[in-house]
Amino acid sequence: MRSRYSAFVVGDIGYLIKTLHPDKRQVDDEVVLRQTIEQTRWLGLKIIAHKSAENNATVEFIAFYQDDVIGQLHERSHFIKQNGQWFYVDGEMLPAVKLSRNDLCFCGSGKKLKKCHSV
């Protein structure tokens, strides 16, 4: 999960497609990913929970981003391991998490949210 988030941050479209399960790939994946990457500034990742077995895993995370406004992507992602490689299969969108002004900021600055990225 962290490697796919990092690929979104640095714009590594090839890696994102390579780690997407082949059955889930679409003809326009590169165009859609490029548009998303160009329009989105990723601010931080918080892993909420993860569960893994031999050949499958589930990761619940919140990815904070900014396009016009600061938002969050709260998802439970499903991964499968085939031939020694992990692939993203799909994700279940979850409701946004309410953040308190006194929580530490999601960007990792160590400051309180109200003093850093007010949402």
Residue with tokens 């497609």: 17
- Is the entire prediction scored with pTM above 0.75? yes
CATH number of 2-115: 3.10.450.50
User: How high is the pLDDT of residue 118?
Assistant: 66
Sheet order of strands, 56-66 included: 41-52, 56-66, 70-82, 85-93
User: How high is the pLDDT of residue 117?
Assistant: 77
Tell me the domain boundaries of the chain.
2-115
Q: What is the mean pLDDT of residues 84-99?
A: 95
The residues, ordered by sequence, that sit 6+ positions from 67 with a Cβ below 8 Å of its Cβ are: 39, 40, 41
User: How high is the pLDDT of residue 66?
Assistant: 87
> How high is the mean pLDDT of the chain?
93
* Burial status of residue 63 (CB atoms within 10 A of its CB: 0-12, 13-18, 19 or more): buried
89 close to 19: Cβ distance less than 8 angstroms: no
